């Protein structure tokens, strides 16, 4: 069963597309979105939309992480091809996905997004439609008062 609001965020670390180990300390607000596979249509749409909203996320103090079961090299090529400026966490052993209890099928994760605020899961989005998702999450953060935009 996927993590739910009020659950503690798991203590995880994973390499990003540059091969650097990233271990979110969960201070502040983070959006962690799981996606099935690099360079696929829906995943490219979702990544590009998070990139398009990235300045607004950062201005609001929100860190964005994308996670899939792809490896570092795949993430590096995907981030380079799409000009992504946020961390893509490589999870080929599914350690991060399992820590968040994300559903997996045929070697890919279900499209699931978590909002983590100061170490606690604040919101969970399952069965995500990649089109418009980044903007919807941002709107929800503002509407619920988690962040404010000037």
DSSP, res 8:
B
Which of the following is catalytic: 3, 43, 62, 72? Answer: 43
C-alpha–C-alpha distance, residues 103 and 56, integer Å: 29
Per-residue pLDDT of the chain (150 residues; tens, 9 = 90+): 789 999 999 999 999 999 999 987 899 999 999 999 999 999 999 999 999 999 999 999 999 999 999 999 999 999 999 999 999 999 999 999 999 999 999 999 999 999 999 999 999 999 999 999 999 999 999 999 999 887
8 is catalytic: no
C-alpha–C-alpha distance, residues 88 and 119, integer Å: 20
* H or E stretch covering 62: strand 62-68
Place of tokens 């990235």: 54
Q: What is the CATH number of domain 14-143?
A: 3.40.30.10
Cβ-based neighbour number of residue 129 at 10 Å: 12
Report domain extents, the chain: 14-143
């Amino acid at each position: 069963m996927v993590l739910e609001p009020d659950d503690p965020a798991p203590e995880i670390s994973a390499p990003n597309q540059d091969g650097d180990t990233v271990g979110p300390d969960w201070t502040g607000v983070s959006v962690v979105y799981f996606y099935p596979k690099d360079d696929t249509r829906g995943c490219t749409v979702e990544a590009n939309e998070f990139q398009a909203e990235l300045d607004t996320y950062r201005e609001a103090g929100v860190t964005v992480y994308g996670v899939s079961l792809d490896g570092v090299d795949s993430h590096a090529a995907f981030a380079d091809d799409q000009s992504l400026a946020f961390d893509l966490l490589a999870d080929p052993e599914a350690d991060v996905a399992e820590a968040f209890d994300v559903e997996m099928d045929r070697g890919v994760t279900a499209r699931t997004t978590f909002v983590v605020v100061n170490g606690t899961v604040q919101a969970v989005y399952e069965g995500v439609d990649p089109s418009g998702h980044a903007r919807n999450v941002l709107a929800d953060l503002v509407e619920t008062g988690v962040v404010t935009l000037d």
